[in-house]
Structure 1
Amino acid sequence: MIDHITIEVSDLEKSKRFYELAFVPLRYSLSFGKEGVFWAFDVGSGCLFEIQRTGERPPLTHLHVAFRVKSKAEVDAFYQAALEAGAKDNGGPGPRPDYAANYYACFVLDPDGSNIEAMINEPPASSF
């Protein structure tokens, strides 16, 4: 399942206003962001559509897609398979506490340089 997609825009505030209006009939709404950097829209089922301003720092690229997986093992397996398929490393599997307490992800660059992520953001299973 796709967790979030991030696209680069040339005018962040203009694009924010555009998507706020265009998403009204779909009942998608602004969820969070950082003034002058990016905005995230809730598009349902826990998925986000994000816009970022041109020229942001890595690991962001012109296009970023994050796939939500079911386990850390799947993140690890995706990373290895992607590298074997020819991807370039853009951040190996591991915790991303800056994103969220339980966020675990990896990042690779596909043949066109798009940043592709596999991630899980769920608390560890209870031992009960």
Structure 2
Amino acid sequence: MAGTGCQDACLILTHQAERDDFEACRKIAIFPKPGSASRLTMGTRTATGELLMIDHISIGVRDISRAKQFYDVTLNALGYTCLSEAEDSLGYGRDAVALWVVAVDSPVPPDAGSGLHLCFAAPTRKDVDAFHKAALGAGGYDNGKPGLRTNYGANYYAAYVVDPGGYRIEALCGQAVS
């Protein structure tokens, strides 16, 4: 598979309905080949066998190197790392890729009124604080300082940031302080 840098992954393509040629196809994500044993293998079940609702999500960015600089630092604060890297895609997670960042020509335009945001699980409240600090240091913009949001739940401790591409992201720890 030329251009992906991943030997055990396959490229998923979609095409515009009004055109029926290969040039109309757009890359939307890179997934592991069925049966391949790699760090790309999706984690659709928890360690206890519970099926997850969402296996992964892909976001498009114009500047993949800028996105890498931002997400490497920001997600590392939560214990996540870049598990897959190619010229035009990055895959982040802990044990399996849950977030794909893909270079595209037409990313979703930022729209604060859309309600769209990504929420990352944080093991502790200190990790939420570290996420916020790391994101701001890596070029993100504050969209809500770390703190309790009791209108969402008694232990809803979160921080909100806008990434350099305009995506709104959140880190959440729902654990009570022990």
**Displacement of 1:112 after TM fit?**
1.5
List aligned pairs for 1:16-95, cutoff 5 A.
44-45=51-52, 61=114, 63-95=116-148
2:46 aligns with: none
2:158 aligns with: 105
1:17 aligns with: none
| Equivalent of residue 115 in structure 1, options 168, 174, 177 | 168
RMSD: 2.9
Unaligned runs of 5+ in 1: 1-43, 48-56
Paired residue total: 75
Q: 2 CA distance for matches of 1:45 and 1:103?
A: 21
CA contact (8 A) 1:61 1:115 kept: no
For 1:75, the aligned partner's letter is: V
Instruction: Pick closer, same or farther for the CA change 1:87–1:61 going to 2, 3 Å.
Output: farther
**Displacement of 1:124 after TM fit?**
2.7
Q: 2 CA distance for matches of 1:72 and 1:87?
A: 19
Instruction: Pick closer, same or farther for the CA change 1:85–1:71 going to 2, 3 Å.
Output: same
> Structure 1 length normalisation: TM-score?
0.50
Secondary structure, in 3 states, of the residue corresponding to 2:158? Answer: strand
